[in-house]
Amino acid sequence: MFDLVTSASSIHGAYWMEGAGGIFCENEAMSWIVSLTGLPDGAFGVFTSGGTAANLSAIVTAREHWRENDAFKAEKGLIITSIGAHSSIKAMAKVADVDILLVDTEDIMYGKAFQKTIDGLTTHQRKRLFAVVGTGGTTNAGIIDDLEGIATICEKENLWFHVDATYGGGALAADSVRHLFHGIEKADSITIDPHKWMFSPYDCGAVIYKKPELAKKAHAQEGSYLDIFKDEGAHGFNPTDYQIQLTRRVRGLPLWFSLATHGTDKYKETIERGIELAQIAGRLIEENPHVELVRTPSLSCVLYRRIGWKPKDYTHWTYENHRKGFALVAPTKWKTGDTFETVSRFCFINPDTTEEDITLILDSMK
């Protein structure tokens, strides 16, 4: 409902002078998200159209900061991430025209494997390397990289550390798994999507920076028609300065309203319920002989296989359930060694999902 109010109000959310009230409220919600990360004082962020735009904004900030050094001005940048990273990292690296190197694991990317990848670079590649992207909850399996280990290496090697917690970031509010994110407080930038595990209406992502002034250097737009909005007299926070978009709606408002209405404890409980549902699904899968777990559920993701099924059986099953209007549970792939296996995947967000829903879906695979 509050998204309707937000849209109908048509508040311009680029500059404080135009949308101070709305931006003030967005910033209240942002302060809560930033507090979940444990980043030091001074860290702050803005709401974006989603994780893709947030990741792009962060990569561009990192690259511009790196290029402030004349030695790198003429170099094409290089970033490292793992094959478990989200498709948007690769897509946005293309947009930013930087090369990307993938650590060959879909499971946890450990500091050690990351260091080995750095050590294996040629001298020129090492010169071009400016950032690493760790994932705080892979989209496919809910896996959290060794953020502490990676952060330590980034400090030593002077690399920008971006954490893509687009999906998993909500779990920072969940006490039962918060320890898995240890090290995230050392990141230079973090992406979290409120429109994923914080139940915001689409579209609402967020990018957070340890040093927002670096994002401002990279993203603030210049134009004589914009000067007044940045004048000393216009003091205030201009969201446009910290990400790629100029004119923007105050898309963080529905989250702010919901937080103000329900309180942060309700969020904590509701996110914990997603994790609990994944545990319940894991138990049901173990109890049913026609299915088995591919790996232990992580965050709210569950990967499992229907014993004896080929890829086309999963495709057929998904289409059939979709056609009936029963459920849309899409297949995915899981990599072990050199082989990709087609499997089924649950990712629980909606706390109203019931054990019966899960049972019915598993039964439809019999």
210 vs 251, which CB is nearer to ligand PLP?
Answer: 251
CA angle 50, 54, 60 (to 5 degrees): 150
Rounded (10°) CA dihedral 165, 186, 27, 12:
-70
Of the ranges 44-52, 147-155, 279-287, 294-302, which one interacts with ligand PLP (CB under 6 A)?
Answer: 44-52
Asked if 50 touches ligand PLP (CB under 6 A), the answer is: yes
Structure tokens at 311: 């890829």
Q: Would the CA dihedral through 213, 217, 223, 227 be positive or negative?
A: positive
- Residues in contact with ligand PLP, shown as a per-residue x/- string from 122 to 151 under the rule CB under 6 A: -------------x---x------------
Residue 227, C-beta contacts closer than 8 angstroms, at least 6 positions apart? none
Among 27, 37, 52, 300, binds ligand PLP (CB under 6 A): 52
User: What is the C-alpha to C-alpha distance for residues 108 and 147, in angstroms, rounded to an integer?
Assistant: 10
User: What is the C-alpha to C-alpha distance for residues 148 and 165, in angstroms, rounded to an integer?
Assistant: 14
Helical (H) or strand (E) element with 189: strand 189-192
Q: How far is the CB of 224 from ligand PLP (least distance, A)?
A: 33
User: What is the C-alpha to C-alpha distance for residues 351 and 8, in angstroms, rounded to an integer?
Assistant: 29
Structure tokens at 178: 């918060």
Q: How far is the CB of 122 from ligand PLP (least distance, A)?
A: 29
**74 C-beta neighbours (distance < 10 Å), count:** 7
Q: How far is the CB of 230 from ligand PLP (least distance, A)?
A: 28
Of the ranges 110-118, 160-168, 236-244, 265-273, which one interacts with ligand PLP (CB under 6 A)?
Answer: 160-168
Beta bridge partners of 100: 79
- Residues in contact with ligand PLP, shown as a per-residue x/- string from 83 to 102 under the rule CB under 6 A: ---x-x--------------
Residue nearest to ligand PLP (CB): 51
Asked if 169 touches ligand PLP (CB under 6 A), the answer is: no
19 vs 134, which CB is nearer to ligand PLP?
Answer: 134
Q: Decide if 174 contacts 142 (C-beta within 8 A).
A: no
Q: How far is the CB of 12 from ligand PLP (least distance, A)?
A: 22
**286 C-beta neighbours (distance < 10 Å), count:** 12
93 vs 365, which CB is nearer to ligand PLP?
Answer: 93
Q: How far is the CB of 199 from ligand PLP (least distance, A)?
A: 14
Q: How far is the CB of 324 from ligand PLP (least distance, A)?
A: 27
Asked if 167 touches ligand PLP (CB under 6 A), the answer is: yes
- Residues in contact with ligand PLP, shown as a per-residue x/- string from 186 to 205 under the rule CB under 6 A: -------x-----------x
Q: How far is the CB of 341 from ligand PLP (least distance, A)?
A: 21
Among 51, 142, 170, 254, binds ligand PLP (CB under 6 A): 51
Q: How far is the CB of 193 from ligand PLP (least distance, A)?
A: 5
**205 C-beta neighbours (distance < 10 Å), count:** 29
Number of residues that bind ligand PLP (CB under 6 A): 12
User: What is the C-alpha to C-alpha distance for residues 285 and 279, in angstroms, rounded to an integer?
Assistant: 10
Residue 72 amino acid letter: F
Helical (H) or strand (E) element with 78: strand 78-82
Q: How far is the CB of 176 from ligand PLP (least distance, A)?
A: 20
Among 166, 238, 258, 270, binds ligand PLP (CB under 6 A): 166
Structure tokens at 264: 């942060």
141 vs 294, which CB is nearer to ligand PLP?
Answer: 141
Question: In whole angstroms, how far apart are CA 61 and each of 4, 39, 209?
Answer: 32, 17, 9
Could you list the residues that contact ligand PLP (CB under 6 A)?
A: 50-52, 86, 88, 135, 139, 164, 166-167, 193, 205
